[in-house]
Amino acid sequence: MDKIVYNSRFFMDKPCMRSFFGITILLKSVCDAANKDLHNALSNFNCLAIWYTIRMSYKIQLNIFEGPFDLLVYLIEKAEMSIYDIEISVITRQYLGHIRRLEESDVAVGSEFMVLAATLIEIKSQMLLPRITPAGETMEDPREGLSQKLAEYVRFKRAAAALETLREDAGHKLEKPQEDLQPFVGEPDIFLKMDMDRFIEAFRAFIYRRKKTEELQHMRRHIERERVSLETKIGAISELLRAAKNHVLKFGELLAKITDRYDKVVTFIALLDMAKSGQLIARQSQNFGEIEVENAEQG
């Protein structure tokens, strides 16, 4: 197959082995050679992807550009333009063409790419308008903001490359793992000075206490209040509302008689749920004021 592309990354991820390795494929030179070849290149990738899928059940992810800025900078770079003097109409056409080709090849194009496409078109339209105010002042170049952003991106892209080089050298220095310090940390054993009699006495006391608690546990019966379910609570509240004057109740009244925290929470959730399903209407005339709930079905 033809010489292919670079600057695109071809990732394979085999989840069961948690192994992951990146393969750099030369995708860019295909675009350089002729843009129509990109389609071919991608279909070759597909074959490869299928091959790997069958052989090793690899998940394949294809990232061609790191983001819209990456693509735009690549196009500007290729056209040998200046970031501060972009020929918007040329670049916009190329950018949109690129996205269209990606879409034709069934590559999902992120919304970020579309946002930048819109920005480019907006700038392009602004470029058509005269940039002199009626007062005769020159207005800001509509490309200004984009240029600044791209320049900033290029700086960090370069810094990323510098980091990669640094890492290459740093990787040649190997560290040593820490010695096993486990025996030296943690709580030391505590030794008590005791004679045999006192020890026996202490042990007896311990046995006695143990026996007592066991006896008590036998006699004690576990009583727990039955917990109210949300459904029951909703039923109870709608009954209260129906019985109330004008079908209106104050939130405070509803909670007044409840002492159990769990019950309070259930009541509150029940009210929220009923408000959501339109069974009641909650009203509050001012901040921190009393909340009134009204039966919506009746009103």
Partner 1 sequence: MQNRDRIKSAFESLLFVFGEPMDVRTAAAAVGIEKKEAQEIFRELARAYEERGSGIRIREIDGGFQFVTFEENYDYIRAITTPARERRLSQAALEVLAIIAYRQPVTKGEIDSIRGIKSDRVIEGLAAKELIEERGRSSAIGRPILYGTTGRFLAYFDLKDLGELPQLEDEELEEAIKSFGEYTAADEAAPAKTLAGQTELELL
Residues interacting with partner 1, by CB under 8 A? 1, 4, 6-7, 9-11, 20-25, 44, 48, 63, 66-70, 76-84, 110, 112, 116, 149, 151-179, 181
Least distance in angstroms from the C-beta of 32 to partner 1: 11
Nearer to partner 1, 108 or 243 (CB): 108
Nearer to partner 1, 68 or 233 (CB): 68
Q: In this structure, what DSSP letter does residue 257 have?
A: T
SS3 at position 288: coil
Rg (CA), the chain: 36
Least distance in angstroms from the C-beta of 14 to partner 1: 13
Q: Are 124 and 86 in contact (CB under 8 A)?
A: no
Least distance in angstroms from the C-beta of 241 to partner 1: 39
Give Cα separations from 38 to 72, 80, 158 (angstroms).
17, 21, 26
Nearer to partner 1, 133 or 178 (CB): 178
Least distance in angstroms from the C-beta of 259 to partner 1: 37
Tell me the sheet residues that pair with 61.
Answer: 11
Nearer to partner 1, 6 or 206 (CB): 6
Nearest Cα residue to 234 out of 271, 281, 275, 262? 271
Least distance in angstroms from the C-beta of 208 to partner 1: 49
Least distance in angstroms from the C-beta of 50 to partner 1: 13
Nearer to partner 1, 36 or 78 (CB): 78
Burial label, 258 (beta-carbon count in 10 A; 0-12, 13-18, 19+): middle
Which residues, including other chains, have CB under 8 Å from residue 289's CB and lie 6 or more apart? Answer: none
Nearer to partner 1, 151 or 207 (CB): 151
Give Cα separations from 279 to 100, 239, 241, 243, 275 (angstroms).
51, 12, 10, 15, 6
What are the DSSP calls for 197-221, one per residue?
A: HHHHHHHHHHHHHHHHHHHHHHH--
Report the alpha-carbon distance of residue 102 to residue 96 in Å, rounded: 10
Least distance in angstroms from the C-beta of 122 to partner 1: 15
Tell me the sheet residues that pair with 132.
Answer: 138
Nearer to partner 1, 72 or 270 (CB): 72
